[in-house]
Structure 1
Amino acid sequence: MSRTYAKDLLAGRVAVVTGGGSGIGRVVAAELAAHGADVVLAARDGARLDEAARAIAAQTGRRAVGVSTDVADPKSVEALFTRVDAEFGRVDILVNGAAANFVRPSETLTSVRFRKVIDIVLQGTFSTSIAAGRRMLARGEGAIVNLVASYAWTGAPGFLPSSAAKAGVVALTRTLGVEWAPRGVRVNAVCPGLIDTPQSRERLWPEEWMREELLNGVPARKFGSEADVSDAVLYLCAPATRYVSGEVLVVDGGSSVGGVPYLRFVEKAGAVRRARPDKS
């Protein structure tokens, strides 16, 4: 938990976190709860959500509820916020952390798989932002934080669906950020760099040489942690950033400025190679 802010920083507020059942989303939800917010965790895996909600409630003493939600389905999203209305009567914070990707050479992608990522990442962020935004606008205040990635503007070999979707989320963030700011609702984004998680160690740098190769491109000479991301999200939800809207806060140890040798890494790792076309 961040020691920068008082434990009651978000007292009385209700936060909805998509992708909140695991990984960074779960850590973000726990951070918001640790600073006084009641939290609603939304994801497709209901059993994992329930476990995460129980753990967060036990750790923080705040109300934590898991709601099985498919953000790609607008009806499921509206059902989520109807549940939030019934149980909490308000929503003050929305964190969009639901993610999806198919990492493969772009020429092997099918429209089905490309569309699936767009539906979860971009359509999902749109649906949740509009549903939460309407409620926030009616009250004249609120904060929305979207999790994006630097390849939204740099591109990355093999990451076409997510790159396109995240680029859309950046545009959505900036547009809503300026459109809703006069009405008291702030919309910003956090862009994590290389974050050390079990999933990253398994999928991105399973071998030590891969880890070292990537670290060579990080000016801070270390990977970020989930707490680094949750601290940034908390900052953008705090009253201290009431004059910040439409911004993308990059949390990457200087990588996007210093220039990660990602293309060289991909070539060396063989991460992008020719594969048989998808048949899905």
Structure 2
Amino acid sequence: MALMGWLDKRTVRLVGASQVIAAAIDAQGGRVVTDGACDALVHFVAAPIPEPAHEISHANWRQTLDAGLDQRFLLAREFAAARRSAGAGGAIVFVGAPEQDCGSDHAAASGALGNLTKTLGVEWARDGIRVNTVLTSAACPTLGNIVAYLLSDFAAYVTGAVTGVGLDD
């Protein structure tokens, strides 16, 4: 059962393809945008194909860290600067696979993302910007609703949280 209107009139920049998250944002009254000013940022990264640690090239290692950590930080920093300039708060939710699902390169990126989430959640709380992460292997409607909840005012006091979710809808 979904409560309606959690995100009324809010714009959400969704980076990465996730139909369930886009559908939940829409169902809760939000509007997904691809660029420009927005009230919230969601960054979704699909899980990489696991490789044994001894077979990961340096290029693949860097690519996974770039997608799973570096690009997320850069987008979050840009979003937070824009929200501070506008004198407004906001919400950021990172979504990806759990650390143990996808090999050592993904585990390194995901573990660092957890620490980044906690640090930014504390640092940017004074600006009214919340930062949270959802780690899951599922892509179901419940995942979208969890993200919509974390973007909403119902989660106004939730920041710096890394939530691992096992879902089966």
Query: Which residue identity is paired with 1:191?
Result: L
> Is 1:227 aligned to 2:146, yes or no?
no
Query: Which residue identity is paired with 1:4?
Result: A
CA shift, 1:249, in A, is 2.1
Within-5 A mapping of 1:144-223: 144-151=92-99, 155=100, 159-192=103-136, 194-195=137-138
> Is 1:99 aligned to 2:46, yes or no?
yes
Q: What are the superposed Cα offsets for residues 94-136 of structure 1, whole Å, 9 maximum, x if unpaired?
A: 1110235241211111101111111111111111111111112
Query: Which residue identity is paired with 2:134?
Result: V
Q: What are the superposed Cα offsets for residues 146-191 of structure 1, whole Å, 9 maximum, x if unpaired?
A: 113332xxx45x6111111111111111110000011101001112
Q: 2:21 maps to which residue?
A: 28
Helix, strand or coil: the match of 1:167? helix
Give the whole-Å Cα distance in 2 for the aligned partners of 1:4 and 1:187. Answer: 23
Aligned-residue CA RMSD (Å)? 2.0
Within-5 A mapping of 1:199-278: 226-252=140-166
Q: Greater strand percent: which structure? A: 2
Give the whole-Å Cα distance in 2 for the aligned partners of 1:93 and 1:104. Answer: 33
Contact kept in structure 1, 2:149 and 2:155, CA below 8 Å: yes
Contact kept in structure 1, 2:2 and 2:145, CA below 8 Å: no
Q: Which structure 2 segments of 5+ residues have no match?
A: none
Q: 1:40 maps to which residue?
A: 33
CA shift, 1:140, in A, is 2.7
TM-score (norm 1): 0.56
Identity, % of aligned positions: 30
Identify which of structures 1 and 2 has the higher relative contact order when contacts are C-alpha pairs closer than 8 Å and 6+ apart: 2
Q: 1:14 maps to which residue?
A: 11
Give the whole-Å Cα distance in 2 for the aligned partners of 1:100 and 1:226. Answer: 15
Contact kept in structure 1, 2:41 and 2:93, CA below 8 Å: yes
TM-score (norm 2): 0.89
Contact kept in structure 2, 1:15 and 1:94, CA below 8 Å: yes
Q: 1:122 maps to which residue?
A: 69
Q: Which structure 1 segments of 5+ residues have no match?
A: 42-80, 85-89, 196-224, 254-280
Helix, strand or coil: the match of 2:48? coil
Helix, strand or coil: the match of 1:112? helix
Larger Rg: 1
Give the whole-Å Cα distance in 2 for the aligned partners of 1:111 and 1:105. Answer: 13
Contact kept in structure 2, 1:94 and 1:143, CA below 8 Å: yes
Moved over 4 A (4+): none
